[in-house]
Every structure is written in C-alpha cells, then in structure tokens.
Amino acid sequence: MRPTLVVGNGPLLFILGPGERAIAGPFPIDPDLRRAAVRFNELGRDDLPAELVASIDPARAEETVLAAPARIARALEERLHRPVGEPNIDELRTARAAVPLLDASTERRFFLALGRVRLEEAMRSPEEVLITLAREEDRVERSVGREARAAESFVRVPGSPLDHHLDTWTRARDALGDLEDALRHSLESQAKLLVPNLSAVVGPRTAARLVATAGGVRPLARMPSARLQLLGSRRRPSPERGPRFGVLYRADRMADVPIGRRGAYARSLAALAAIAVRVDATTRRDLSAALVSRRDRRVDELRRKHG
C-alpha cells in the first residue's frame, strides 16, 4: 500500500491517498495569488488549508504520510502532531504526473508573485540594504559631480529666461546634494553595523563600496588581498603598467601617504582589510584597534621613507 502523499502544484495542494483512492483536491493555499505566494513562502501550520488537514486527519495512525516540498511536510507535522516524511524522487515524479496541470497563466502569475516576495525578503537583509545604499550613493555622487561641472560652464544672463532657469536648477542641485548627504550618513551607519572591523580599517564608505563591488560580505571575505586591492579598478593589470588599487583609492589615510608610495600603502591596506572582513564574516570579534594601529604605523613608515 502506498503512503498518503501531499504534493503542491503552485498555489494548489493535492492529496494522493493510499491504495487506489483517487486524488483529493485541489486545496488552494489562498484564493488571491499574491497572498498565496506570501503564505507559501512562509508556510507554517496555520497556512495549510483547513479542508486539506481535515482530509488527512482521519487517516489511520499506521498509515505513512509524506509531503513535498519540505516546508509542507514540516507544517503538516506540526499541525497533525505525527511524523510526516518526504517522498523519494520516484514517488514525487509519480505524484507530479498524477495531479492536474496548473493553468499556464495562473502558474506564471503565481511564480512571478513568489519571486517578488522572495526578492523583497532578500532585500530586507542588512547586507542587501548596504549593497543597495552603496550603489545608490555612488550613482548620486556622480550625478552631483556632473551637475556641478555643468553649472561652472553655465553663463548667467540677468533679465533673461535663463536667469529663472538657473534659480530653479540651483534648487534642484541643492536638493540632490542633500540627498547625497543623507545617503552617505545611512551608508556609513549601515557599514559600521555590518562590517565594523573593515569600516575601521578603510573607512565605512570605502568598506560599503568594497562589499557592494564584491557582491556581499562572504564573497569579499574569500578574496585574496591582491584581488581585494584591485577590486573596482577600471584597467586590467599588465606586466608593463597596471592599476595599483581600485575602490581602495578612497580609503582612510590614503591622502596622508605621498603619491609615489600609495601603491605600497594599498598593498599593506588590502592585507589588513582582508583580515578585517574575514573576522566580520565569521567570528565578529573586535580587532579594529589592533588593525588600525598597524595601518597607522605603516603610514608613518611610508612617510619617513619618502622624506
């Protein structure tokens, strides 16, 4: 005798009974596809359709109950207070072939809604917030610089329509500058929370841009220091002449190092940054004081050598 099997097909659930019993269902998770996507993504014991639970509940205790995907099995186990396993691949294939196909339009709209729900969930994570803020702050900074350069070449003509245009344009540039300041403040605060050691070593703004360029804290933590040093550079390294650093050119204390020694500082700083981000991604111990002390000693050493 085959087990009682609960299988999901998009927003609908079906029961394949033991023996030769017919399929029961469909049991919709929710009539509204958007709400069904939300409930499916966070499926708990209270999100299961009551009719489905009532159809399984009378099943004899000796009968095996299986469910797929795994979140349905966990929810049923909590609701029924009995073990609920997962089907093997052959059982799942048989069940998928037996349940009715979902309407193509409904299937497409459900999975689009589910994808959006999962994207919104991912975007709420501190790491994704930091990456989005870093990219937005970079975009706004470039816009502010572009508008400032354009304003320098604009000729004001008193009494002409251009005079009125310039006043309006100035207000727009001021608003853009205020947005840049607000973004930078949010970005630095988020970076200090997510990667505190890295923020202390290279500065919170540079730390945020390193994380955004790498695509996350863990990808950045896996990088060797040589790659971290060149992360964000716009030219490929070559045997003759290549970039000395990428995003690190904005790092704290870079301006304190003589121009001819900045490549050496970037190498040392990248090594310290690699240590810092690995600690932030794993143990989250506070090593900022020791790392900053080593950074500052290196700056003093390079300045003495240059002098």
CATH architecture of 4-122: 2-Layer Sandwich (3.30)
Segment 232-277, tens digit of pLDDT? 887 665 555 556 778 888 899 888 888 888 888 999 999 999 999 9
Tell me how far apart the alpha carbons of residues 94 and 36 are, in angstroms, rounded to a whole number. 25
Strand duo 12-16 + 23-28: pairing: antiparallel
Q: Which residue has the higher pLDDT, 199 or 69?
A: 199
For the chain, the average pLDDT equals 83
Q: Which residue has the higher pLDDT, 226 or 305?
A: 226
The reported pLDDT for the residue numbered 241 is 58
| Assigned fold of 195-307 | Serum Albumin; Chain A, Domain 1 (1.10.246)
pLDDT band at 4 (very low <50, low <70, confident <90, very high): confident
CA-wise closest residue to 251 among 298, 200, 297, 182:
200
Any idea what DSSP says for residue 175? H
Sign of the dihedral defined by the CA atoms of residues 184, 190, 195, 197, in that order: positive
Percentage, residues of the chain above pLDDT 70: 92
- State the average pLDDT over residues 119-142: 86
**Number of other residues whose CB lies within 10 A of the CB of residue 278:** 18
pLDDT band at 23 (very low <50, low <70, confident <90, very high): confident
Q: Residue 200: phi, psi to the nearest 5?
A: -70, -35
Segment 184-217, tens digit of pLDDT? 999 999 999 999 999 999 999 999 999 999 999 9
CB 7 within 8 A of CB 13: yes
pLDDT band at 306 (very low <50, low <70, confident <90, very high): low
Tell me how far apart the alpha carbons of residues 241 and 267 are, in angstroms, rounded to a whole number. 16
- State the average pLDDT over residues 90-101: 77
Burial, 107: exposed, middle or buried (Cβ in 10 Å; 0-12, 13-18, 19+)? middle
Tell me how far apart the alpha carbons of residues 43 and 75 are, in angstroms, rounded to a whole number. 7
The reported pLDDT for the residue numbered 2 is 62
Q: Domain segments of the chain: what residues?
A: 4-122, 125-193, 195-307
CA-wise closest residue to 277 among 250, 234, 248, 245:
248
